[in-house]
Amino acid sequence: MDLIVITDSIVGGLFIGVAAVTLYVFLGRVAGISGITWQAVALENEISANIWRWCFIGGLIMGPLLLGMLGLGSDYESLNRSPIIVLVSGVLVGVGSKIGSGCTSGHAVCGVARLSKRSIVATACFMSSGILTATTLGLLSDAS
Amino acid sequence: MNSVMRSVVALISGCLFGTGLAVSGMVESQNVIGFLNVAGDWNGSLMIVMVMALGVTSVGFAMSTILHTPLLAESFLCPRKNTIDKRLIVGAIVFGIGWGVGGWCPGPAISSLSYGDSDAVLFVCAMLLGMWIVDRVEGRIG
């Protein structure tokens, strides 16, 4: 890994941490993105209770745009993967985060820091199954 | 006034989060796959991002205990459940499989929408579909 990648990772990680702490200190909310997204679209809440969620989601999309406007955007390129792969991974991520009450942000970035027993277990589980899956798929594609 | 401020802070927080995901390259799923695929050309950036983010959140959450209430809301709303159940474990494992297949989790996928990537649009729709299916099935059972 070159120095630029390391520096970018450090800076990016700090931003993510500050974002999560900001949401918690000001709104008293954990920055769990799967939960925020589901609640925002689930029609269970009053619209007024969802405004902050839509603002947060809007911010997630605006962040990279602002970075690009400042000339600091990454050289993002779509991988144009098979729609089946994208669809399957998306459904699994949705199903898993809904059943498991959280994703990388809620469990790993916030929950582990709060020393939540549940989040530590969830993070260990999805890290393990993620590594197992990606490594298996990597070996299979190398072999073919 | 507080509700306007809450929206502004949520927007800023989202912006910071999205900026962090973009700066660190976590919006690019090949970097995430590069970390998860330990037999390939290993890419440790996700680990650095996670450690740095956790460093900030650990200190920040610990310090926030000096506050009785959040600065713009009436109370801290933390998940209070403390039991490890089958749902948590099965859900997290399924989530990890999806993450390992595509290299995207919800945050980076949503942030990738900003690049107009049609893969990201499809992924986010599929993710919401997955959540909706669980909600429907459980609604019927429960």
Q: Could you report the per-residue pLDDT of A126-139, keeping only the tens digit for each?
A: 999 999 999 999 99
Please list every residue in chain B whose beta carbon sits closer than 8 Å to the beta carbon of residue A113. Answer: 54, 57-58, 60-61
Q: What tokens appear for A3 in the block?
A: 């120095």
Q: Burial letters for A31-62: b for 16+ Cβ neighbours within 10 Å, e otherwise?
A: bbbbbbbbebeeeeeeeeebbbbbbbbbbbbb
pTM of the model: 0.96
**CB atoms B106 and A134 under 8 Å:** no
- Distance (Å) from the alpha carbon of B17 to chain A's nearest alpha carbon: 5
Please list every residue in chain B whose beta carbon sits closer than 8 Å to the beta carbon of residue A123. Answer: 92
Give the model confidence (pLDDT) of B33-57 as tens digits. 999 999 999 999 999 999 999 999 9
pLDDT of residue A10: 98
Of the candidates A86, A85, A126, A87, the residue with the CA atom closest to the CA atom of residue A103: A126
Q: Exposed, middle or buried: residue B8 (CB in 10 Å: 0-12, 13-18, 19+)? A: middle
Give the model confidence (pLDDT) of A5-57 as tens digits. 999 999 999 999 999 999 999 999 999 999 999 999 988 888 888 999 999 99
Q: Number of A:B CB contacts under 8 A? A: 482
**CB atoms B75 and A56 under 8 Å:** no
Of the candidates A77, A130, A82, A2, the residue with the CA atom closest to the CA atom of residue B37: A130
pLDDT of residue B78: 84
pLDDT of residue A85: 96
Point out the residue among B48, B67, B84 whose CB comes nearest to the CB of A121.
B84
Give the C-alpha separation, A38 to B138, whole Å: 15
pLDDT band at residue A73, thresholds of 50, 70 and 90? confident
pLDDT of A99 > 80? The answer is: yes
B37 close to A134: Cβ distance less than 8 angstroms: yes
Angle at A38 between CA B83 and CA A133, to 5 degrees: 70
**CB atoms A30 and B77 under 8 Å:** yes
pLDDT band at residue A109, thresholds of 50, 70 and 90? very high
pLDDT of B1 > 80? The answer is: no
pLDDT of residue A115: 94
Angle at B115 between CA A126 and CA A70, to 5 degrees: 110
Radius of gyration of chain B (CA): 18
Number of C-beta neighbours around residue B65 at 10 A: 8
Chain B residue with minimum CA distance to A33: B107
SS (H, E, C) chain B: CHHHHHHHHHHHHHHHHHHHHHHCCCCCHHHHHHHHCCCCCCCCHHHHHHHHHHHHHHHHHHHHCCCCCCCCCCCCECCCCCCCCHHHHHHHHHHHHHHHHHCCCHHHHHHHHHHCCHHHHHHHHHHHHHHHHHHHHHHHHC
Point out the residue among B96, B112, B124 whose CB comes nearest to the CB of A129.
B96
Chain B residue with minimum CA distance to A117: B82
**CB atoms B97 and A130 under 8 Å:** yes
**CB atoms A42 and B135 under 8 Å:** yes
Phi, psi torsion values for A29, nearest 5 degrees? -115, 145
Give the C-alpha separation, A84 to A77, whole Å: 19
Please list every residue in chain A whose beta carbon sits closer than 8 Å to the beta carbon of residue B80. Answer: none
Q: Residue ranges per domain, chain A? A: 3-143
Q: Greater confidence, B81 or A125?
A: A125
Q: Greater confidence, A73 or A119?
A: A119
Please list every residue in chain A whose beta carbon sits closer than 8 Å to the beta carbon of residue B104. Answer: 89-90, 93
pLDDT of B142 > 70? The answer is: no
B98 close to A90: Cβ distance less than 8 angstroms: yes
pLDDT of residue A101: 95
Question: In percent, how much of chain A has pLDDT > 70?
Answer: 99
pLDDT of residue B14: 98
**CB atoms A9 and B98 under 8 Å:** no
pLDDT band at residue A90, thresholds of 50, 70 and 90? very high
**CB atoms A59 and B13 under 8 Å:** yes
pLDDT of residue A72: 80
pLDDT band at residue B81, thresholds of 50, 70 and 90? confident
**CB atoms B102 and A86 under 8 Å:** yes
Q: Give the best residue of B11, B36, B65, B127 to mutate against chain A (max A CB count within 10 A).
A: B127
Chain B residue with minimum CA distance to A137: B101
Question: In percent, how much of chain B has pLDDT > 70?
Answer: 98
Q: Residue ranges per domain, chain B? A: 2-141
Give the model confidence (pLDDT) of B85-129 as tens digits. 999 999 999 999 999 999 999 999 999 999 999 999 999 999 999
pLDDT of residue A28: 97
pLDDT of residue B12: 98
pLDDT of A1 > 80? The answer is: no
